Amino acid sequence: MRNTLLLLLLHGAFTLSAAEYYYAFNAEARAIYADAMRLELDLAEAGIRQLRGTEPRNLAAEHLESYVDFFRLYLSGDEQLDGPLLERYDRRIARLEQGDTGSPYYQYALAEVRLHRSLIDLRFERHLAAFRNLNRAYKHLRDNVERFPGFLPTYKDLGLVHAAVGSIPPQVKWGVELFTSLTGTIAQGRRELQRALRDTDSPFRLETQVLYAFFEQHLADEPERAYRYVRTLPLHPETNNLHAFVRATLAMRNDKNEEALQLLEKQNRGGTEADFPYLDFLLGQAKLRNLNPKARIHFQSFLLRYPGRHYREEALQKIAWSYLLEGRPREYHRTMAQIDGGSRAGGDESAALEAAQSTAPNLHLLRARLLFDGGYFTRARAELDGMDVRALPVEEQLEHRYRTGRVLDGLGDATGALSFYERTISMGRDNPAYYACNAALQAGLLEEDRGNPAAAARYFRTCLEIAPAEYRIGLHMMAKAGLDRVGNP
């Protein structure tokens, strides 16, 4: 009887202890969150230690620490940091699981922490672990909606998950359905994100607004709407590098390269914010799109400051291109020889494929490509029009057709663009280059914009049928997103 009584007392003490954990996103927590979103990660971590000292059972500290660790890993790409931070992640989960299950923050915080870890796993190409954590996060979010349907922050994350699942190409989706409980569509995700935006008092409101802008850009194919929307938000790119990234990225996606150049040139340097080397990568990209060979100093800065393995091959490729623009083919080949294929990310994979070839890109086609990417369509067309297409090798003839279609599309000549897209698809369907696949995608987007859903769906399906050696996953995801938007007539 004494043993039974002792067990009951211990159980009661444990229950009482667990119940004492709570989640309060109070003024102190909001200040720490603001520091994290300014990338003042050391300051945020000091605030978390202070919060744990004054409120040792406030689980907001665990949630905030997840933001800090996510930014440290994602900005640096440093896999050497991942081991120690993974141990902190495991401790966070264990601590959050002791929280008050009657609070809507219980499932929400667990979901956010797992989502952060899933994104890190994806960055480091641990796809099975990423989907496992994403699936767990999804279950937390789904359960939270059932128990607390009026708790609007849940819909921020749930909307992103549903939209992401809706964009998965059919040839991959069977595995997701087999090994996870993930479901959703882009339209469903959009409704949920819009619902989350109704919470005007949420401490996560600006984060939700930025995520919604990126959703409109990448999944809803509404780049102009995304750009206009983000310009209404209280972002401060001159003092906040995360804000500079958001504004510059959306500007570059909307053919506003000069605006991106101005934003990135003014980025905050030498302060106490966490280093953000990718901003120099973007600045180099923006300068290269204006055919400025001095772009390479920014890619070189990125390579010196970035300890991760992703984007390195692409940065070397861009440096090599800057030499080509100066008429220095020897330096081009010397730089491309440094590419070793250490990353499978889209841009890195493309750089490795180019490095495996013995010849440099056609300079006129390269210039047209860069100018188009910067939104300088008239200059790009002049480059293409000045070429003797009949004298080109077959591979370059295919690229010329593709780039002509893209430039005509940018200039608003829909009929001309579709004609060249069709020629590219016909000529390049079985070619390992991405031109035919992206031509089909762009033709679908063009027809969607023109209000022709059946024609758009036909092109999106064509895109999904073509399997290029590079960019396949990203192109297929966008085609699947397009099919989800227009239906499958």
Is the Cβ–Cβ distance between 324 and 363 less than 8 Å? yes
Which region among 31-35, 64-68, 76-80, 163-167 has the lowest average model confidence (pLDDT)? 163-167
pLDDT at 221: 81
Q: State which of 192, 224, 256 marks the end of a domain.
A: 224
Phi, psi of 220 (to 5 degrees): -95, -5
Percent of the chain with pLDDT over 90: 81
Q: What is the largest CA-CA distance in the chain?
A: 97
pLDDT at 178: 58
On whether residue 342 sits in a domain, the answer given is no
Is the Cβ–Cβ distance between 280 and 299 less than 8 Å? yes
Over range 444-460, report the average pLDDT. 96
Does the pLDDT value for residue 79 go beyond 70? yes
pLDDT at 38: 97
Band (pLDDT 50/70/90 cuts) for residue 8 is: very low
Place of tokens 């901003």: 279
List beta partners, residue 22: 58
Band (pLDDT 50/70/90 cuts) for residue 145 is: very high
On whether residue 159 sits in a domain, the answer given is yes
Q: Render pLDDT for 337-395 as a digit per residue (tens, 0 to 9).
A: 999 877 777 789 889 999 998 899 999 999 999 999 999 999 999 999 999 999 999 99
Is the Cβ–Cβ distance between 479 and 464 less than 8 Å? yes
The CATH number of the domain holding residue 422 is 1.25.40.10
Over range 433-441, report the average pLDDT. 96
Cα 207 → chain centroid: 14
Which region among 172-176, 295-299, 353-357, 437-441 has the lowest average model confidence (pLDDT)? 172-176
Q: Which residues contact 220 (CB under 8 A, 6 or more apart)?
A: 186, 190, 226, 481, 485
On whether residue 331 sits in a domain, the answer given is no
Residue by residue, DSSP assigns 40-67 as -HHHHHHHHHHHHHH-TTBTHHHHHHHH
Helix axes 312-325, 278-288, angle to 10 degrees: 30
Over range 257-278, report the average pLDDT. 94
Does the pLDDT value for residue 174 go beyond 60? no
Euclidean distance between CA atoms 364 and 389, whole angstroms: 11
On whether residue 373 sits in a domain, the answer given is no
pLDDT at 12: 44
Helix axes 257-265, 241-252, angle to 10 degrees: 160
CB atoms within 10 A of CB 270: 5
Band (pLDDT 50/70/90 cuts) for residue 164 is: confident
Q: Render pLDDT for 85-124 as a digit per residue (tens, 0 to 9).
A: 999 999 999 999 999 999 999 999 999 999 999 999 988 9
Euclidean distance between CA atoms 242 and 246, whole angstroms: 6
pLDDT at 170: 67
Which among 481, 466, 482 has a CA at the least distance from the CA of 398?
466
Domain that holds residue 141: 19-224
Q: Which residues contact 465 (CB under 8 A, 6 or more apart)?
A: none
Over range 13-30, report the average pLDDT. 75
Is the Cβ–Cβ distance between 62 and 109 less than 8 Å? yes
Euclidean distance between CA atoms 136 and 363, whole angstroms: 49
Question: What per-residue string of b and e applies to 64-98 under the rule 16 or more CB within 10 Å gives b?
Answer: bbbbbbbbbbebbbeeebbeebeeebeebbeebeb
Does the pLDDT value for residue 134 go beyond 80? yes
pLDDT at 197: 97
Helices (H), 197-306: 205-218, 223-231, 241-252, 257-265, 278-288, 296-305
Phi, psi of 22 (to 5 degrees): -145, 170
- Average pLDDT of the chain is 92
Q: Render pLDDT for 184-222 as a digit per residue (tens, 0 to 9).
A: 888 999 999 999 999 999 999 999 999 999 999 988 888
On whether residue 232 sits in a domain, the answer given is no
Which region among 11-15, 170-174, 437-441, 456-460 has the lowest average model confidence (pLDDT)? 11-15
Q: State which of 191, 224, 257 marks the end of a domain.
A: 224
The CATH number of the domain holding residue 202 is 1.25.40
* Residue 125: both structure tokens together: 């190409």
Cα separation of the two ends of the chain: 72
Assign 448 to helix, strand or coil.
Answer: helix
Overall size of the chain counted in residues: 489
On whether residue 166 sits in a domain, the answer given is yes
Locate the DSSP E strands across 25-116. none
Does the pLDDT value for residue 19 go beyond 60? no
Phi, psi of 362 (to 5 degrees): -60, 125
On whether residue 388 sits in a domain, the answer given is yes
pLDDT at 2: 47
Q: Which residues contact 466 (CB under 8 A, 6 or more apart)?
A: 425, 429, 436, 437, 440
Is the Cβ–Cβ distance between 325 and 291 less than 8 Å? yes
pLDDT at 17: 46
Burial class (CB in 10 A: 0-12, 13-18, 19+), 451: exposed
Does the pLDDT value for residue 34 go beyond 70? yes
Q: State which of 205, 224, 243 marks the end of a domain.
A: 224
Assign 22 to helix, strand or coil.
Answer: strand
Give me the number of domains the chain comprises.
2
Over range 9-32, report the average pLDDT. 72
